[in-house]
Amino acid sequence: MPTHDLPPLEAVLTTAEGIEVRPYTAGFAAMVHGPGHDPAELPHLGVALMRPHSRGRVRLASANPAVAPVIEHRYDTVAEDVDALRRGAELARELVSHTAEVGDAFWSTSQHLAGTAPMGTGPDAVLDPTCRVLGVEGLWVVDGSIMPAITSRGPHATIAMIGHRAAEFLSI
């Protein structure tokens, strides 16, 4: 993804409890569309919980493939996760409040989802070890959904590796 010469992150602070405080140089709209696209998208701090306890769910709404699935993120369904994020937001505020004006915290997500079509041999597996969908001839899934758990860092490198490895399976 081009960032219009705006580096998304310059540093990341990771706490012992798995919270990341990320100073973004600009908002995501500015990185995608260029500076000036959205004046409200200013540099900001993001607070992320890298190993959440909450788990979302994807279910089929219909047997018709044209009907979108029901996606339940459930981000804030585990009190321990909410408490950890609150502590992370307090830390972020403490870090910058002496040098910058600090606005109100707000809730959003930048998490990359995983595990909706896990690969493996266990009872929850949807894919075989070569990324083929079990029970469906000629269909593979090659993205972050095949990971059985959320990565503790950004998933880009992991998903790129999955793609390279899966390309070997597809060319066999």
Catalytic residues: 112
Gap between the Cα atoms of 105 and 158, Å rounded:
30
Q: How many CB atoms lie within 10 A of CB 113?
A: 16
C-alpha pair distances (Å), 13 with each of 9, 16, 91, 146? 11, 10, 11, 28
Q: Which of 166, 168, 125, 116 is nearest to 145 (CA)?
A: 116
Angle 8-13-18 from CA coordinates, rounded to 5°: 110
Residue pointed to by tokens 């310059």: 10
Phi, psi of 20, deg, nearest 5: -110, 135
